[in-house]
Amino acid sequence: MQTRTVLLAGALMLATTVAVAQDMKIGFINLVRIEKESATAQRATEALKEEFAPRNQQVNELQKRIAAAQGRLEKEKDQLSPADVQARSRELSDMMRQSDQMVMRLSEDFERRKSELGTRIFEETQVAIKAVAAAGNFDLILQEVVYARPETDVTDLVLKEMAKRGGTAR
């Protein structure tokens, strides 16, 4: 008798779970689209370009000077004394080392800032997702899926919510 009661209770719980699962409202978002299309992400990209443009220009100018110095050294090598060739080669090496250091610092700083802005974009995206979920009575919104019907895609709603909120990616 007790086994039958346990089986009956289990069957009732299973039936209840299936009934609840059928009424769930599920959506998904495409994070790649959020990163490409959101105004927040676009502003962050522009901010990065503006912030790092002067340093990129400095690196480019130094690399042009290095190329010019290399060209002059190659042309004048036969006419210079060995000491002058060695001195110019040392100058060239110093300039190359300086360029390498500038590129490395620039790259590290760029990646750090990109990560900071990415964190802000992620946080704003999460707020927008929660607002869309609450407004649309969603039970579950997924960020990565292998397959989903197109009508379950709520990316446009999240993008609109982010635009409505304005964002502060800078």
Please tell me whether the overall predicted TM-score, pTM, comes out greater than 0.75 for this model: no
CA distances from 34 to 15, 55, 106, 128, 143 (A): 38, 29, 27, 11, 11
Percent of the chain whose predicted confidence (pLDDT) is above 90: 76
Calpha distance 150→148 (Å, rounded): 6
CA quadruple 131, 132, 138, 140: dihedral sign: negative
Count other Cβ atoms within 10 Å, centred on residue 162: 24
Among 5-9, 53-57, 91-95, 136-140, the least confident range:
5-9
pLDDT for the residue numbered 166: 79
Q: What is the dihedral of CA 131, 165, 114, 154, to 10 degrees?
A: 40
In which band, very low, low, confident or very high, does the pLDDT at 170 lie, cut at 50, 70 and 90?
Answer: very low
Structure tokens at 154: 């709520």
165 has pLDDT over 90: no
**30, 148 contact by CB (below 8 A):** no
Which pLDDT value is given to residue 50?
A: 96
Phi-psi sector, 25: left (phi>0), alpha (psi -120 to 50), beta: beta
In the block, which residue shows the tokens 């250091």? 101
Residue 59 pLDDT > 60: yes
- Is the pLDDT at 2 greater than 80? The verdict is no
Sign of CA dihedral 132, 136, 138, 141: negative
Domains present along the chain, CATH in parentheses: 24-165 (3.30.910.20)
Confidence of residue 120 (pLDDT cuts 50, 70, 90): very high
Q: What is the pLDDT of residue 23?
A: 81
Angle at the Cα of 146 (from 140 to 149), degrees rounded to 5? 65
- Specify the pLDDT at position 42: 93
User: What is the predicted pLDDT for the residue at 91?
Assistant: 95
Spatial CA neighbour of 121 closest among 33, 27, 55: 33
